[in-house]
Amino acid sequence: MRRIISVLLENEPGALSRVVGLFSQRNYNIETLTVAPTEDETLSRLTVTTTGSDRVIEQITKQLNKLVEVVKLVDLTEGAHIERELMLIKLKATGSQRAEIKRTVDIFRGQIVDVTSSVYTVQLAGDSDKLDGFVQAIGTSGVLEVVRSGVSGIARGEKVLSL
Amino acid sequence: MELLSGADMLIRSLQDQGIEYIYGYPGGAALHIYDALFRQDQVKHILVRHEQAAVHMADGYARATGQPGTVLVTSGPGATNTITGIATAFMDSIPMVVLCGQVASTLIGEDAFQETDMMGVSRPVVKHNLSVRHPSEIPEIIRKAYYIASTGRPGPVVVDIPKDMTAPNERFEYAYPKKIKLRSYNPAIRGHAGQIKKAVDMMLAARRPVIYAGGGVILGKASGQLTELVRKLGYPITNTLMGIGCYPASDKQHLGWLGMHGTYEANMAMHHSDLILAVGARFDDRVTNATEKFCPGARIIHIDIDPASISKTIDADVPIVGPVDVVLKEMLALVKDSKEKPDADALASWWKQIDEWRAFHGMRYETSPDVIKPQEVVEMLCRLTNGDAFVTSDVGQHQMFAAQYYKFDKPNRWINSGGLGTMGFGLPAAMGIKLTHPDDEVLCITGEGSIQMNIQELSTCNQYKLPVKIINLNNQALGMVKQWQDMNYESRHSHSYMESLPDFIKLAEAYGHVGIRIDRKEDLEPKLKEALAMKDRLVFVDIQVDPFEHVYPMQVARGSMKDMWLSKTERV
């Protein structure tokens, strides 16, 4: 099953390599990984999406917790949560395609953020399924370039991951 | 406040940490540190002949004393040579601090002479590693390194020290931190009271219980608590290879050790049990055999300081995360206070069954009128040293024979590389022990393959007068490899024998030691006695043993715990 694990990590050199190293060392999967400092500059927030059986996921969270630089973590998929990913996508847009693409972008609530006579660059945010859905709707033949940020997530309601 | 250079701060920190011995090898990036070492005499340095041996020495010391060992090496090859030793300590959770020189911080990343990314290279085999980024951080980093290495589930910690951090001309205020607190590292200090209560209720209701203890009992200094609890309950106990000595082997409740080469009765008791109390053990593949066939009728209570060890390979019904000594003490108090008592009839019939298993096989081997069996060498050594020696081993058949036939009644006496299985471990580990236990007998039981992996340390033994006794069970083959080839590859002995073995007697003599060869059975006892009588000399005893011997029992691959070969022809 797909899981989103959110980690508060000491913002120190080498800390990220320990997390990444752990996944490859123990043969765990990384689907996406995002990391950036938080409002507290001594901490980074890292979100990793992974798949595995319940036993594997339990081991992943335990092994992550063992890393000395991991301060706290939560498996967001255990409760209600919000998941977002940002995509920038460059599309071939000429002739009648231009209006069609514009309509599809509107339906997916994206924005065209850059335009040339033959290319639209579209920005789209949402969960990963929505981004996949957009690419499918456009059709791969018109796609020139895709860049996705990987998933960020946060719990719904009062629950917070902080010190 | 005192002003000290980074190098002087490093050595002062070791002094203030109470470190008496460090093991190492100098080189360019560590020279400022070696100079600081020279200008004091509180911390003593032992110069090895290869950095791997320095780590095994520190490891042997740590296993025998429970205190963290310390290593000092230079950058590049000095650092990479420590990796096998560090991985050995990591797999067996041995507390250790490895101080590595590094090229100057201004050169890092430029492929400088003797530069290696030691932080990256060591990362998968350390509990943690730390890099010095300013000389003034050194005291805190050293304090942190020892704290992390020796608390929670212990393990090796590497400290990477760029050369400019120890420069003699820059001085900083020195103060060694008394306390250390890390917001992201808080090992458990006690177990969950509700879980402990639940576990005790299950233990008292069990009809076929068995206690399965591991190296965590020794690392957690909990042998006393374990022994008391086991005796109070009257239950059978088995332990892992790493747990040898956590409960007296000569006690009647002890079934011997379990797993791939464990005793028949221990493996049978595990398989047929209805309750397993696992204490500081990790259900390693060399214990469980095929996990899907593991102990089908047993419910499992698992105590461990490391939550990741629980339900990793075998699901625990009652997990308890905490220090084993504290948890066992609470269990004992609950058992004493409980109105429930173990079912005496059920326990009596369980013991009757176990005694039948013991009588059926036990530990035995066939003797020969003229060939020396490796098992009888170990049995004789045990008798001649009253079972009270420190015994290190390398890896292979001799390791299993030593563990099977030397009866350890005390913890911290059986010293081997259980997890990583490192050949070349035995001699340097024995040296580390002998250095701090000069009045105790220290035996290195090895084979002619393993001993050659760190043979150069005979030179270190001469320099520091370390009279360990090397017992070389020489079967002229990589015995365990050959055994597997006999069993699984129709005896095609691919590269498992060595031609041109050295004359070990002359070799020992060349290094300034005594060599004794034993190739006749009638010489075994008198010559072993002669070797052991030479208290102040290192004696290399080269014993020609049966080259065809196999280690039994041996679990059948991919079977359950009860599926074993008991000899070359008997399978149960």
pLDDT digits (tens, 9 = 90+) for B97-152: 999 999 999 999 999 999 999 999 999 999 999 999 999 999 999 999 999 999 99
B132 and B242 fall within a common domain: no
Mean pLDDT of A31-60: 96
> Is B373 marked active-site?
no
- Count of the separate structural domains present in chain A: 2
The contacts of residue B34 (CB under 8 Å, 6+ apart) are B26, B72
A126 and A97 fall within a common domain: yes
Confidence of residue B452 (pLDDT cuts 50, 70, 90): very high
Q: How far is B525 from chain A (nearest CA, A)?
A: 49
User: Does residue B44 sit in helix, strand or coil?
Assistant: strand
Show which of A45, A78, A111 is a domain's final residue.
A78
Supply the pTM of this predicted model. Answer: 0.96
A103 and A74 fall within a common domain: no
For residue B274, count CB atoms less than 10 angstroms from its CB and return exposed for 0-12, middle for 13-18, buried for 19 or more: middle
Give the other-Cβ count within 10 Å of B41's Cβ.
7
Q: What is the pLDDT of residues B228-273, one digit of tens each?
A: 999 999 999 999 999 999 999 999 999 999 999 999 999 999 999 9
Q: What is the pLDDT of residue B499?
A: 81
A91 and A57 fall within a common domain: no
A57 and A98 fall within a common domain: no
A39 and A86 fall within a common domain: no
Show which of A61, A78, A95 is a domain's final residue.
A78
B223-233 and B324-337 helices, crossing angle to 10°: 30
Contact (CB<8Å) A68/B128 = yes
Give the other-Cβ count within 10 Å of A13's Cβ.
9
| CATH number of the domain residue B295 falls in | 3.40.50.1220
Residues of B in contact with A70 (CB under 8 A): 184
The verdict on residue A91 lying in a domain is yes
B155 and B12 fall within a common domain: yes
Mean pLDDT of B311-317: 96
- Count of the separate structural domains present in chain B: 3
B242 and B108 fall within a common domain: no
The verdict on residue B546 lying in a domain is yes
The verdict on residue B181 lying in a domain is no
Using the Cα atoms of residue B55, residue B56, residue B61 and residue B65 in order, give the sign of their dihedral. positive
B354 and B384 fall within a common domain: no
| CATH number of the domain residue B460 falls in | 3.40.50.970
A116 and A140 fall within a common domain: yes
B73 and B151 fall within a common domain: yes
The verdict on residue B568 lying in a domain is no
When the pLDDT of each residue in chain B is averaged and rounded to a whole number, the result is 97
Mean pLDDT of A13-41: 96
Show which of A78, A97, A121 is a domain's final residue.
A78
B380 and B356 fall within a common domain: no
| CATH number of the domain residue A103 falls in | 3.30.70.1150
B9 and B120 fall within a common domain: yes
Mean pLDDT of B315-328: 98
B336 and B385 fall within a common domain: no
Q: Which domain holds residue A127?
A: 82-152
Contact (CB<8Å) B308/A68 = no
Q: Which domain holds residue B432?
A: 374-551
Show which of B121, B139, B173 is a domain's final residue.
B173
Q: What is the pLDDT of residue B225?
A: 98
The verdict on residue B572 lying in a domain is no
B425 and B341 fall within a common domain: no
Mean pLDDT of B442-465: 98
Residues of A in contact with B185 (CB under 8 A): 68
Contact (CB<8Å) B183/A62 = no
Identify residue A33 by its one-letter amino acid code.
L
